């Protein structure tokens, strides 16, 4: 007599995301040398350690002088010294005097304006002729104009790029306080899976999931290890898990998490300390998602079909990685759009289907990508968003407004350069 298994209750996606983020710890802090900080996220506000600039400086090559001396007709002034950037002026500019000055050099005492060299004529015996009236403050950068000592120049949470590196260097922030990147390892399971460089034999397929997930992790938070393929053997899976749980902050398995005879991941990793938090969510594609913790490590089991694996990574795993690394926002942007053409019927699960979002004069429009199901990675790659179809109610029709989740790596075609 056959024994039938009762289908477990599926966790709504929103609850699953909330649960994962609730179990995800705050990012750890670290310090790295300035030259290694690019791509990191600041873990603390950065303040200027001095006024910037720290002195009044010239914006031009020219002459520092007293503006009052140029108020009348043409004037000839005595040049008392020449000041280059990096020098400290030694003479005060008195009435009837000027100092030759180069761009970026500090202004001498007594001077309150700079006239550019192109508006002057040098005369013999250390004198300069000026034929224009120069206002007070002309071509001068005041001390502290950019920042005062103690001002916040970069906020915690800032993603460090080249411009931020320049600011960090200018205020002497070296080493740099950053959030440490989470250590992530990705495994694919399945006797039928072979490496990408190998031509598959009968009944086999190439491993696209590990490279795909590793690339997404690297894009989002940096360091990742591709653990390759684990055969459908509880001992092999459990042994790899035990080692990974000791070494990584996040471990992701793909395949082996559904209800088949060789879906061994959940059972195999329990012996390595895995404690299940939930298994199966109300989403298509991607129902058999597994989540739990082991020795403080976050553990995800994603479906083996490539599109299911990609969708559940974006919806479930990525927000946790963003939180762990101190990055914001945690979630992909959502865009409202007008649907072009009909969508599949609504089902009891929420659906996230590959689609193409396009800008237009009246706003955004979206159309589904023709695809052959959750194994069709080529059609998935042709989309730039996921079209959300709520569970239950009637399916949207052409002309209806729908919500999309932007998952494209390059969004310039959507939002412009």
Which residue among 303, 324, 345 closes a domain?
324
Burial state string for 303-315 with b = 16 or more CB within 10 A and e = fewer than 16: bbbbbbbbbbbbb
* Domain stops at, among 267, 300, 324: 324
Is 241 part of any domain?
Answer: yes
Based on the structure, what is the number of domains in the chain?
4
Whats the size of the chain, residue-wise? 417
**Residues 215 and 312 placed together within one structural domain of the fold:** yes
Same domain, 150 and 43: yes
155 and 36 housed in the same domain: yes
Tell me if 292 sits within 8 A of 274, measured CB to CB. Answer: yes
Backbone φ and ψ of 299, nearest 5°:
-125, 125
**Quick one: pLDDT at residue 70?**
95
Which 8-state DSSP code applies to residue 314?
I
CA–centroid distance for 22 within its chain: 21
What is the pLDDT at residue 7? 54
DSSP type of residue 389 = E
In terms of Cα–Cα distance, which of 271, 320, 289 is closest to 21?
320
Identify whether 6 is part of a domain.
no
pLDDT at 222: 87
121 and 217, same domain (yes or no) = no
Q: Tell me the residue range of the domain where 156 lies.
A: 29-52+145-179
CATH number, residue 352: 2.40.340.10
* CA–CA gap between residue 290 and residue 122 (Å, rounded): 80
The most distant pair of C-alpha atoms in the chain lies apart, rounded to whole Å, by: 116
Instruction: Please tell me whether residues 199 and 299 are part of one structural domain.
Output: yes
Rounded to two decimals, the pTM is 0.85
Taking only the tens of pLDDT, the chain with its 417 residues reads 334 445 568 999 999 999 999 999 999 999 999 999 999 999 999 999 999 999 999 999 999 999 999 998 789 999 999 999 999 999 999 999 999 999 999 999 999 999 999 999 999 889 999 999 999 999 999 999 999 999 999 999 999 999 999 999 999 999 999 999 999 999 999 999 998 889 999 999 899 999 999 999 999 998 899 999 999 999 999 999 999 999 999 999 999 898 777 779 999 999 999 999 999 999 999 999 999 999 899 999 999 999 999 999 999 999 999 999 999 999 999 999 999 988 888 889 999 999 999 998 889 999 999 988 888 889 889 999 999 999 887 889 999 999 999 998 777 777 765
The predicted pLDDT at position 8 comes to 62
Domain of residue 188, CATH code: 3.40.980.10
């Amino acid at each position: 007599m056959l024994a039938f298994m009762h289908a477990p209750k599926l966790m709504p996606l929103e609850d699953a995301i909330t649960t994962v983020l609730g179990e995800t710890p705050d990012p750890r802090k670290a310090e790295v040398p300035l030259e290694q900080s690019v791509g990191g996220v600041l873990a603390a506000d950065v303040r200027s350690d001095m006024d910037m600039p720290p002195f009044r400086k010239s914006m031009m090559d020219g002459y520092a002088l007293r503006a009052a001396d140029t108020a009348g007709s043409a004037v000839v002034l005595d040049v008392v010294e020449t000041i280059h950037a990096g020098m400290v002026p030694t003479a005060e500019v008195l009435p009837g005097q000027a100092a030759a000055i180069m761009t970026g050099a500090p202004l001498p005492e007594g001077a309150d304006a700079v006239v550019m060299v192109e508006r002057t004529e040098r005369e013999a015996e250390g004198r300069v002729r000026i034929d224009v009236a120069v206002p007070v403050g002309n071509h001068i950068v005041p001390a502290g104009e950019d920042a005062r000592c103690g001002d916040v120049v970069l906020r915690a949470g800032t993603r460090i790029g080249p411009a931020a590196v320049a600011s960090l260097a200018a205020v002497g922030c070296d080493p740099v306080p950053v959030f440490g990147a989470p250590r992530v390892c990705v495994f694919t399971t399945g006797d039928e899976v072979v490496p990408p460089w190998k031509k598959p034999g009968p009944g086999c397929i190439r491993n696209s999931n590990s490279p795909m997930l590793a690339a997404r992790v690297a894009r989002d938070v940096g360091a990742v290890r591709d653990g390759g393929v684990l055969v459908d053997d509880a001992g092999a899976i459990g042994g790899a898990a035990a080692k990974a749980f000791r070494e990584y902050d996040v471990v992701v398995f793909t395949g082996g998490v559904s209800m088949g005879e060789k879906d061994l991941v959940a059972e195999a990793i329990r012996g390595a300390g895995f404690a299940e938090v939930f298994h199966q969510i109300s989403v298509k594609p991607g129902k058999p998602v597994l989540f739990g913790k082991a020795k403080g490590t976050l553990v995800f089991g994603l479906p083996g079909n490539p599109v299911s694996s990609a969708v559940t990574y974006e919806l479930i795993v990525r927000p946790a990685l963003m939180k762990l690394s101190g990055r914001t926002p945690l979630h992909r942007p959502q865009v409202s759009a007008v649907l072009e053409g009909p969508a599949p019927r609504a089902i009891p699960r929420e659906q996230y289907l590959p689609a193409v979002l396009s800008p237009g004069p009246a706003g955004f429009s979206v159309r589904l990508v023709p695809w052959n199901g959750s194994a069709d990675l080529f059609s998935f790659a042709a989309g730039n968003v996921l079209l959300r179809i709520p569970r239950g109610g009637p399916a949207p029709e052409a002309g209806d407004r729908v919500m999309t989740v932007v998952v494209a790596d390059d969004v310039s075609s959507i939002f412009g350069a």
